[in-house]
Structures are given as structure tokens and as C-alpha cells.
Amino acid sequence: MGTLAIVISLLLLMFFAYRGVTVLILAPIMAALAVILSGDLAVLLPAYTQTFMTALGSYVVQFLPIFLLGALFGQLMADSGAAHAIARWIKEKLGTRHAILTVVLACAVLTYGGVSLFVVAFAVYPIAVALFRDADIPKRLIPASIALGSFTLTMTALPGTPSIQNAIPIPYFGTNVFAAPGLGLIAAAIMLLAGMAWLRGRAASAARAGEGYGEHDEPSAPQDEGDHPGMPLVLAVLPLLLVIGINALFTYGIFPHMDFSAMSERYAGLEPQRVTGLWSLIIALATACVVLIALRLKHWVSLRDSVNKGVFGFMLPLFNTASEVGYGAVIASLAGFIVIRDAVLQVAPHNPLISEAIAMGTLAGITGSSSGGMSIALATLGGDYLAMAQQAGISPELLHRVAVLASGSMDTLPHSGAIITLLSICRLTHRKSYGDIAAVTILMPVTALVTVIVLGTLFGSF
């Protein structure tokens, strides 16, 4: 009955999330339902105050700086005109002939540099409309093009990407955002090349059928300039380079040569190898924000408003994910979870990479969130996977990369908030565009994930 209670709770979580109910209220309600159905009514309130809230609070304490600085940086990139300058430059260089590639690369460059997925979607969409209309490519392919550049390789595969998905495994495995760089590059290449082949094939098929851009309810001449001040390309790119460069400098050049003994004495329980990856990312994002503000110091429309909007913007994503972590902690505390845990861990017991991939992908699919699903899985099973990997001689870096890739393999099911938002931005429906989105954000990432697991099993982490 305890296991059935968990299954019912998960299914309802997925159902109501698809209906648009916020997980801020949904997660604690579904956690409480699982407790009640398990017959543990006496521990209902302690499960909320001692388990749910403790797990939620721990997650907020650990990842608040990453969410905050990431949201602030994305807003500053948008309001400074840097995001538009980069997107326009790529458009000018590739032109209408390569409309799909232009949109994909514009999104990829911006998200790899640390700009929020949603900021990128808003910034690139007007440019995509102009390009696709001029090239007479169906508008229904715009969401998939944006998703390929934003929701795949730069979110989970490219080494050093500052995405929150790439940061979450760090404290669990003692790794950093550059984990398994060779395998990450291979996965990124598979996603990009296969995704582009799919989209180009779909565009060619539409052209043969005589389908053009189509008639859509939107301005006849969308502008990609917006209300943002102009910005030279070299200055627009500099903050993106700083995020990656400073992160790498501290990860490989500074922290490995530092003596943390005095710090460990002062802060009991501090394990530097488990936090230096987060420290590197915090320093990189903070530095990039300061430099970006300084570069445009006399050109901000309202720096105060940009900073406030960016800072306020981090709260909902952070607490959404933290609520899902709290939900996962309550589920893990129930007796019925032991059956589920043992079943998951026994999938390919001699290769925890397979079990880990299934757990991450399944929970990301259920929650409709790569960060939420991975956070639940790692909070409940992270220690088990690390122990299994050490026993099997598998590098924690490989464990990290597989976890991140798996979280981005099933997170874009129809109920995903990111997909709903993207379609809303593009003024399109699931019926018109979701099939192509699924192809580039599920089929291609799953292919890349399987490839990495096979290569990692045969050759180890590289």
C-alpha cells in the first residue's frame, strides 16, 4: 500500500502540473497525500515541518546564489542589448539561407554564456520570425529551433556550461561543471547534428509540399531591435567569455592549488572538493554581472529596474525546484519507497550509469523539470549511486555527466512548464509544434545519453 500511495501521488503531481497548478502548493499537498495514503497519518505534520521544509531549506541555502546570479546575469544581458547584438550578428553572418542554423546558434551561444532560457527565447523569437518569413520556412518549426539551441546541448552537455542543471550534481559527487568534457562534447555534437538534420529535413519536406511560412496573427514586420540600447559585439561577447573563462580558471588553476586546512578547521564538516565547483561558478557569474554593468554604465535605461527584475526573477524557479526536492524527501522517508529504491538500484546493478539515467529521466519526465527531477533523484539516491560507482570503479565525473544528460532527456514532455512557456512566446500550439520539439529535445538527447553511457562504460570518463 505504501508503494501504491507513492505512485498515486506521483501520477497526480504530473496530472496537476500539466494542468498548470504551481508546484509551490502542489508539492506539499501531494507529499501529504502520500503520507496519508501510506497510513502514516500520525507523522503528517512532522513530515511537513521536519522533512519537507528541512529539505526545501537546505536546497535553497545551497543553490540560491546560482539561481540569483544566473537570473540577474540573464536580465542584464537582455536589457543591455548584449543578447540582441549577438543574435543580430549571427543573423547577419549566416543570413536567411541558414535561417534554422542561425536561430539554433544564437540560442546556443547565449545559453552557453549563462543567459536564462526564457530570456533567450524572448530575445531570439523576433529574429526567428523575420528569418523564417523571408526564407518561407513554416513558423511551426521556430519553437523546435529555439528549443534545440536552448534546451539541449548547452543545458546538459557542453563542458563548463553554467546551467543550474550542470551545477546540481556538484555537492553530491564532488565534481565541477567541466565534468567528463570529452563525453560532453560528443553528446553535444550528436544533439546538434541530429537535431539540425531533423529540422532541415522537416523544412525540406514542407517546401516540397508547398507549405510556406503561413498566415499568423502577429505584426507584419517584427523588429529585432526592441527597446534595447545598441551594444558593440565585442562588448556583448565579453561577459559570456568571462563566465566560462573565470569558471575554468578557478576550477583548474586556483582552487586545486589552495590550502583549505585553515578553512576546514573554522567550518566543521566543510569538504572543499564538494563546494569548490559551486564557488567557481558563483565567482564567474558575479564577475560577469559587475563587468556587464560597468561596460554599459552610462547607457542603461534603468539599471535599478533591470537589477530588481533580475533578482526578483530567480525566486520562482528556485522555490519551484526546492519544493520538488522537499516532496522527494518526504517520499524517500516513507516505507514504501524502499521497494521503489531497491527496484531502481537493481536495474543493471553492475552498471549504475543505466540505473541513474532511468531514475533521472523518469523523475524529470514526471515533474516536467530537468532540475526538479534531478534534484529529487539525487537527494534520495545520490549517495547510493556514488557508492555503487566507487565500487564499480566508475568516475564521479562520468556519474555527473550521465545524471545531467539524463535529466534533460525526458523533461520536455507536453506538461513541461518550459514547453508551455516557449509555445506561448511563439504564439503556437502543442498540436502544431510539439512533435518537432519532442524530436529535438527527447529523441536526440536520449540518443546522446545512450552513446555516452556506452562510451563511458567501455573507456571510462574523458
Per-residue pLDDT band at 217 (split at 50, 70, 90)? low
Residue 449 resides in a domain: yes
Residue 287 resides in a domain: yes
User: CB-based contacts of 268: which residues, under 8 Å, 6+ apart?
Assistant: none
As given in the structure block, the three cell numbers for residue 179 are 565534468
The model's pLDDT over 162-194, given as tens digits with 9 standing for 90+, comes to 998 999 999 999 999 999 999 999 999 999 999
Rounded Cα distance between 310 and 302, Å, is 12
Range scoring the smallest mean pLDDT among 244-248, 319-323, 351-355? 319-323
Residue 20 resides in a domain: yes
Residue 319 resides in a domain: yes
Other beta carbons less than 10 A from residue 79's beta carbon? 25
Range scoring the smallest mean pLDDT among 169-178, 293-302, 448-457? 293-302
Other beta carbons less than 10 A from residue 229's beta carbon? 17
The model's pLDDT over 436-448, given as tens digits with 9 standing for 90+, comes to 999 999 999 999 9
Per-residue pLDDT band at 223 (split at 50, 70, 90)? very low
The answer on pLDDT for 340 being more than 70 is yes
Rounded Cα distance between 81 and 69, Å, is 18
Residue 363 corresponds to which amino acid?
Answer: L
The model's pLDDT over 124-177, given as tens digits with 9 standing for 90+, comes to 888 888 889 889 999 999 999 999 999 999 999 999 999 989 999 999 999 999
Rounded Cα distance between 29 and 324, Å, is 11
Residue 336 corresponds to which amino acid?
Answer: G
Residue 217 resides in a domain: no
Residue 221 resides in a domain: no
- How many structural domains are present in the chain? 1
The model's pLDDT over 379-388, given as tens digits with 9 standing for 90+, comes to 888 999 999 9
Predicted TM-score (pTM) above 0.75:
yes
Residue 2 resides in a domain: yes
Residue 417 resides in a domain: yes
Per-residue pLDDT band at 225 (split at 50, 70, 90)? very low
Domain that holds residue 380: 1-212+231-459
